[in-house]
């Protein structure tokens, strides 16, 4: 396998766009549009980059399920030996549905775990709870006591490390809702260890941190690793001999706007920063939680042009997809590359690519220069494998779209398209 895979490509300049060996028009004809298309080979390759870069350092790559929770993708990654980072009981159910044996590789993150979710995770025997508050630690102790088990936990500490990213996905500063202040961690670990009841119900196994998402500079990861490694040394000196893991979270970013970059080089730089930050700390396993980096570029949203229209000076390309299918442009003003599936016409024009949802914010691109397209043409909205289908909704009573996984030249349906009756089924008149 060559590095890096470019899953959406034209085998020859005048070919239609393919996902690996599968022509996209063939997929659209078989399963309709809008349609999410994923490359299995690209996902496996990205997972392997972390394993290669961290060779010789004990580690477990725990895929962030929230990025794309497709059962087929979870099963694919489980076969690679991945762990899983979850943030809800529903995501745990998904992991168990994909592979029951993966429970021991599950890390439960999230700021608002409920008692039923904690009970479910205790029954399943997950690897560790990343605890984000004193109240959560007390609830975990209580639920473990009711089950007569010892709950493994790590405190998620807030290292107050700035990462240059969108404010909605930055999580490592004092003003954010996530984690606890790093300076308050020793007292809370001590309380869990020395409390008469808590000591029988809780076992501190590590320390956790997550500073944000879509971070492309390795320096903040190194700074976070340095602070967490110092905390682990201090905790061990204070009597925490069972600390055996450091969870550095996820957040490694990609390039959405087409700038040349090398995923292999980025992972290597990230790994080097982390190794330097750990400073030779021994006796720990490194846990990582990449999500977007593994799946974003492996996916595209395939959509058909319904109409084109001119309103004053603005030209619109109206597609059969909508913000309910891919909300990132509306939510974050996120950039996604858009490419005609057929070889591009020579004439280019500046357009807004928009969807069918009854909202002015329903757009995929504004003032984007594209080859001229006509009704019936197919467009591929690229880099949509992360936070695409997982953030989709049924707004405007629009059924969620089908999803296809391509393995080599073969494609298979991994989620059928919703029917309106599926949407109406839970309701009562």
Supply φ then ψ for residue 300, to 5 degrees.
Answer: -145, 150
Q: DSSP assignment, residue 291?
A: -
The token pair at 305 is 């042009």
Q: Are 101 and 67 in contact (CB under 8 A)?
A: no
Q: Are 170 and 103 in contact (CB under 8 A)?
A: no
Question: CA 360, CA 429: separation in Å to the nearest integer?
Answer: 31
The token pair at 394 is 């049924």
Give the residue numbers annotated as catalytic, written as ranges. 358
Give the strand order in the sheet containing 8-9. Answer: 8-9, 18-19, 22-23
CB within 8 A of 269, min separation 6: which ones? Answer: 218
Question: What would the DSSP string read from start to end of 28-96?
Answer: HHHH-SSEEEEEHHHHHHHHHHHHHHTTTS-EEEEEEGGG---HHHHHHHHHTT-EEEESSHHHHHHHH
Helix residue ranges per DSSP H, 54-197: 71-79, 89-98, 115-124, 134-147, 185-194
What are the beta bridge partners of residue 310?
Answer: 315
């Amino acid at each position: 396998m060559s590095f890096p895979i470019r899953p959406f490509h034209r085998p020859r300049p005048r070919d239609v766009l393919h996902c690996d060996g599968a022509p996209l028009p063939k997929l659209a004809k078989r399963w309709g549009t809008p349609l999410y298309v994923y490359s299995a080979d690209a996902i496996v390759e990205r997972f392997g980059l972390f394993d290669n870069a961290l060779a010789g350092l004990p580690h477990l790559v725990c895929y962030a399920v929230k990025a794309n929770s497709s059962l087929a993708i979870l099963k694919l990654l489980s076969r690679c030996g991945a762990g899983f980072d979850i943030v809800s009981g529903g995501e745990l159910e998904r992991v168990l549905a994909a592979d029951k044996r993966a429970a021991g590789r599950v890390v439960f993150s999230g700021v608002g775990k409920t008692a039923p979710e904690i009970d479910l995770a205790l029954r399943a025997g997950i690897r560790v709870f990343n605890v984000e508050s004193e109240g959560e630690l007390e609830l975990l102790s209580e639920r473990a006591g009711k089950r007569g088990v010892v709950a493994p936990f790590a405190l998620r500490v807030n290292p107050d490390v700035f990462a240059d990213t969108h404010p909605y996905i930055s999580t490592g500063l004092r003003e954010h809702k996530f984690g606890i202040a790093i300076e308050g961690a020793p007292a809370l670990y001590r309380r869990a260890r020395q409390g008469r009841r808590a000591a029988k119900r809780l076992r501190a196994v590590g320390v956790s941190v997550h500073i944000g998402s879509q971070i492309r500079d390795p320096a903040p990861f190194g700074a976070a690793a340095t602070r967490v490694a110092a905390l682990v040394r201090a905790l061990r000196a204070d009597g925490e001999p069972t600390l055996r893991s450091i969870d550095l979270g996820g957040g490694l970013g990609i390039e959405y706007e087409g700038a040349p970059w090398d995923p292999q080089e980025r992972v290597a730089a990230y790994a080097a920063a982390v190794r330097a930050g750990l400073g030779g700390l021994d006796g720990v396993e490194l846990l990582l939680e990449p999500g977007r980096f593994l799946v974003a570029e492996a996916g595209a949203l395939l959509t058909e042009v319904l109409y084109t229209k001119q309103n004053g000076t603005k030209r619109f390309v109206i597609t059969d997809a909508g913000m309910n299918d891919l909300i990132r442009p509306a939510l974050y003003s996120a950039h996604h590359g858009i490419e005609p599936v057929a070889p591009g016409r020579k004439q280019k024009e500046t357009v807004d690519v928009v969807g069918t949802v009854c909202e002015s914010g329903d757009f995929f691109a504004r003032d984007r220069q594209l080859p001229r397209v006509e009704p019936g043409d197919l467009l591929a909205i690229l880099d949509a494998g992360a936070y695409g289908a997982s953030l989709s909704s049924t707004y405007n009573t629009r059924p969620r779209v089908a999803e296809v996984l391509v393995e080599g030249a073969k494609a298979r349906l991994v989620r059928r398209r919703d029917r309106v009756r599926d949407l109406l089924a839970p309701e009562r008149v």
